[in-house]
Structure 1
Amino acid sequence: MSIQVGDRLPEVPLQRIREGVETIDTNALFDGRKVVLFAVPGAFTPTCSEKHLPGFVQHFDEFRRKGIEVACMAVNDPFVMQAWGQSQHVPDGLMMLADGNGDFTRALGLELDASAYGMGTRAKRFALYAEDGVVKQLNIEAPGEFRVSSAEHMLTLV
């Protein structure tokens, strides 16, 4: 069963690159903050690179004006997430989080079997809004869809 609105986000370590690889647990990322977390099936994949991440880059300042932090997550390693962020001109402050082994994705119950495409287990395309680590909005895309997890849609909900 996947996480639901009203649930607390599970405590699982993720990785990101700042001055090197940094491991940070989800409590440190979400506690005491308002955060939109969106997940993509894979860095550098077509919809993720052409629509999903670019939308959050374009609207990043609007989220910040509302006091909301933004985080992008994928079941990729932190070096891939860093390179993807650089290639997409991600602004400082938009967190590029790596769930390399898919532990957080599985804990959320939002894993996707992409083995038919040679990608193994990945995250479903989704976006959630959490306040102080508690899910307030959760939008999971149907397979092949890109609507409810977009930056534009999330801005209408927060």
Structure 2
Amino acid sequence: MAIAIGEKLPQATLVKATEAGPDQVTTNDFFAGRRVALFSVPGAFTPTCSVKHLPGFIERADEILSKGIDEVACTAVNDAFVLAAWSKANEADGRVTMLADGNGEFARAIGLDTDSSAYGMGQRGQRYAMIVNDGVVEQLHVEAPGEFKVSSADYLVDKL
């Protein structure tokens, strides 16, 4: 069952992609005492993720931050090296923090994993955006399969 508004994120370890290399961070530590806009993509360098999803959050990061958000973060079931390269290729550094969920443990823990084996991608995370306030889900916008509407930066800005 998927996580719901009002629920606390489960304890999980993600890997923060940094210029100095991978840095493990727990969900408890990363989200504690802050309001974070977190969005999930099925995979770095994939079409919708690279052409629409990430660029929208890069372009609107300042506006999102101006609405009481402390950090904008992206998660994907990719390793930290892939997310670091994707961040660099899109000039996201300093605007969007990349949180690797390499084994999909976080996606499974919140019930937002999906089987993309039919596309040769294996187990992935669903496309969504959420606002997390001190570790608790304040807003949750999960896309229907194959869609890109409610998880966009534009949609999230309108909901803040």
Identify the TM-score tier after normalising by the shorter chain.
over 0.9
The answer for the alignment partner of 2:102 in structure 1 is: 100
Is 1:53 the counterpart of 2:91? The answer is no
CA distance in 2, matches of 1:136, 1:58: 23
Structure 1: gaps (5+ residues): none
Name the aligned partner's letter for residue 33 of structure 2: G
Cα displacement (A) at 1:66: 2.0
Match of 1:70?
72
Q: CA deviation at 1:29?
A: 1.0
Task: Please say if residues 60 and 94 of structure 1, whose CA atoms lie closer than 8 Å, have aligned partners that are also in contact.
Answer: yes
Asked if the contact 1:34/1:129 (under 8 Å) is kept, the reply is yes
Q: CA RMSD in A?
A: 0.8
Matched, 1:87 2:89: yes
**Partner Cα separation in structure 1 for residue 96 and residue 22 of structure 2:** 16
Q: Deviations over 1:109-150 (max 9, x none)?
A: 000100011110000000011111110110100011000000
For 1:93 and 1:59, locate their aligned partners in 2 and report how far apart those are by CA, in whole Å: 9
- Map 1:105-124; keep pairs closer than 5 Å: 105-124=107-126
Displacement over 4 Å in runs of 4+: none
Structure 2: stretches of 5+ with no match in the other structure: none
Give the alignment's TM-score, normalised by structure 1: 0.97
Q: Which amino acid aligns with 2:57?
A: F
Matched, 1:153 2:155: yes
CA distance in 1 between partners of 2:102 and 2:42 (Å): 12
Q: Secondary structure at the match of 2:155?
A: helix
Q: Distance in 2 between matches of 1:112 and 1:45?
A: 16
Contact 1:57 1:91 in 2 (8 A): no
Using the alignment, how far apart are the partners of 1:17 and 1:26 within structure 2? 15
Count of matched residue pairs: 158
> In the aligned structure 1, how far is the partner of 2:68 from the partner of 2:95?
12
1: distance between equivalents of 2:33 and 2:159? 20
Q: Which residue of 2 aligns with 1:11?
A: 11
Give the SS at the match of 1:100: coil
Superposed CA offset, 1:40-63 (max 9, x none): 000000000000000000000011
Distance 1:8 1:44 in 2: 30
**Would you say the 8 A contact 2:17–2:100 is kept in 1?**
no
CA–CA distance in 2 between the matches of 1:148 and 1:72? 15
Matched, 1:26 2:27: yes
